Chains A and B, each alone.
Chain A
Amino acid sequence: VAKTSLTSPPWPEVELPDPVEEAKYHAEVVQKVNKMIATGQYGRLFAVVHFASKQWKITSEDLIMMDNVLEAECGDRIRMEKVLLVGADDFTLIGRPLLGKDLVRVEATVIEKTESWPKINMHFWKRHNYQRKKIIMNPQTVLRINTIEIFPCLS
């Protein structure tokens, strides 16, 4: 059959590597990373955590402020689940979408529970004698991330 413009797809042809060899390579890499974690050859760990409907990139000794109330007293320790990503200098563990609870452990303490600075909500229509002014102060909580730990239970 003659070659038309639609014989070959517009993207360049790529061949994927052999699945058997790929599986071997993956197992090797996983073992290496496990060893590194077990011996403790990582420096600073950073994690991406989903908390209070936002995603935060956190390290140890970090301060986080959220615009809502937490039902915990000041000085309470909190363990954050819903970890999306954990990384160090040489390796990262990407969750799909979350990482297991037996892999990562993120601890935080509640430090402060304050209100935000008074924000002014104003609406004004000109020539219509319409103005509304409202001062809003949202409650805020400040957390400090104590530690991020990982355990060598990859597979």
Chain B
Amino acid sequence: QHFRGRKNRCYKLAVRSVRRAFVKSTKARREKKRFLRALWITRIEAASLEHGLKYPAFISNLLKSQVELNRKMIADLAIYEPKTFKSLAALAQRRRQEGFLAALGDGKEPEGIFSRIVHRY
């Protein structure tokens, strides 16, 4: 909004730089959304690491437990409502452990295999 040098005094130079400013602002409006989302993601990652969870684990477990808060909200909650964020992290951790247990299933070996040890005779 101030335009350095002769761009703020001379008409010809000012026309060129104002045109470039308009074009840059239109393109920046589209990039702003990407930039803000990356910012929210870094903030959520930092907050979840404080509670001992990594970002992909946190987000995937939250989605699997049917909580559809978007990243902007979770970042704002992590800043202004630390207790709520702690409860969300605990929910994600619990869902993660339940997922591990479900993946293990029974502790039996598959049938049809007589031994995993190879004897050399």
Interface residues of A (CB under 8 A from B): 1-2, 4, 9, 11, 14, 16, 46, 48, 55, 57, 84-85, 87, 89, 92, 94-97, 119-124, 131, 133
| Of A4, A87, A94, A122, the contact of B19 (CB 8 Å cutoff) | A122
A-B pairs, top 6 by smallest CB distance, nearest first, are A122-B22, A97-B68, A96-B66, A55-B73, A92-B84, A14-B97
Q: Can you spell out 7 A-B residue pairs with CB atoms less than 8 angstroms apart?
A: A1-B117, A48-B77, A55-B69, A92-B84, A96-B65, A96-B66, A119-B29
Cβ of B2 to closest chain A Cβ, rounded Å:
18
Q: Is B106 an interface residue (CB 8 A)?
A: no
Per DSSP, are chain B's interface residues mostly helix, strand or loop, or mixed? helix
CB of B89 closer than 8 Å to a CB of A: no
Interface size class of B (residues with CB under 8 A): 20 to 34
Q: Cβ of B1 < 8 Å from any Cβ of A?
A: no
A120 CA to B68 CA, complexed, in Å:
34
Find chain A residues with CB under 8 A from B67 CB: 84, 94-97
Q: How far is the CB of A54 from chain B (nearest CB, A)?
A: 8
